[in-house]
Structure 1
């Protein structure tokens, strides 16, 4: 099996029946099903949604993004072997645990293949909901420069790098460019305060102010549940990003749900417990890849400075990373996924064909 063939890098060209443009993000591609196919699947599989709810096929890839760029390896390797399956497996594990513990549902209705989710259309809350248990990363860099207020939260003097915080801090930022909100710049991914959200809850797509409280409760409950489960594996849950949205159930009731992915090595920092107790941070998440990039290139400011995006994009486009770098990050993703789920991540010889076969045979969704 060649490494290049085992990687699903391009995931927006599958022959899935759709009458809309395929939406392709950094990692996932979304195929909106026709109204007839959505209705057929809802009836056939008894999904708890309204009979006319729009459904989509969400296909993950093995692409790896960092610093807002997609990276590749030598030998035509356009992603990280096992990464997509590992991310989905970890998300599936936590989503099930959330549901089993009465937290909230997700947008996922079915998981026909390790790379595929069948999802219902959700109205996203326009917030990147970030929770932090330790001071590290961008928060530490800002703190080190003298900043003491983050998202309306005052931090005490005297904190040290990678120190555990007294409380889980919720430090939200905008998802997309939001216009006309006082004190919130019209750019993507800017920090906002609890007050900004409460004062402008409709602009962030909340239905009411009570749901602003509810999202914070769900965020902390989800964080604590994952943190506790990881602690049992001697892993440290450092920080994470959640996303929320609204869906309607079969009775037409609005539900606030978790969406996108949760607790994955892409959306979270996870540290190895034994090493951390010995004063060493070993990343079991994409943060290790980011740190490698910062060390790999002679001018790390290109990766950290948003004003140098053209140079950064050229860096990612023109530099194939060594195969051992790609395989190191592959091991990180696969090992933490297997540790969390207790199941083996199996690499496929031809993941794209597998996805096509499953969607054809079980769902009749291939042209």
Structure 2
């Protein structure tokens, strides 16, 4: 999301630890549930339990992998089966990936069959340096013309070499905002052409089985995110980063706002794609258990490929003591015992 809407460190925290858990509907939201009557929000709960890979963003280095066990204990012993991290976007050598980042995740993933690895990949360097539109536009044009192909080919080869060939790659996330140099707004047509080029390069890497996740931030932001969509042949998952903001906006309004949660689900369905929620959490409205209940119920109804709760202050509930009521809802929904 844009720097005006959600503050970040100089570089986005690099590591997400994701939990893959079975979420029976009657455990997902103790108390009230969202039932506004939107066509995509059934008022009747699904009759069968819903499996939703779920997660917590807990750190920026190898310690994040080790924290999986701590989150697991906090949740009462729930099984953790999905990992999510971010490539630094400061320079191209980091966008190519490094063994120091991939090694711990590769070992973690190899410990249990079926674990999912999700990687956010910047599309341009100097990712959070506030580059002017003219410079962004020039970078997008160079990318679409093939100037950066080798960087992405190297990334793909390194992922395959680390046995991460089935990773979900979240390319150029939150492109509809202004936080990142890989933003779409300065030139949507070129941005789409560049995405298609990157996907083509990565799909040509021997041994790869990557899936590509197109993830915008919720709402209109700087540009309508459908304008950035590169086409069904180049997208496998349609994601949304959705924090509890702005101040005073309730969950129902987050669902119904223009380019919000309901529009996201409709758009994905129209294109025959599953959804994901790589980033979500508290932000502008403090400790807000009603929002957390609403999001967890939303996931149960719409069955995302995965979802990741951002767990550092002010967004989190495990590593952030400021949100105890929301934490109780999360533990009651995702914990192994099903109790807060």
TM range (shorter): under 0.3
Please report the TM-score for the alignment, with normalisation by the length of structure 2: 0.27
Please report the TM-score for the alignment, with normalisation by the length of structure 1: 0.26
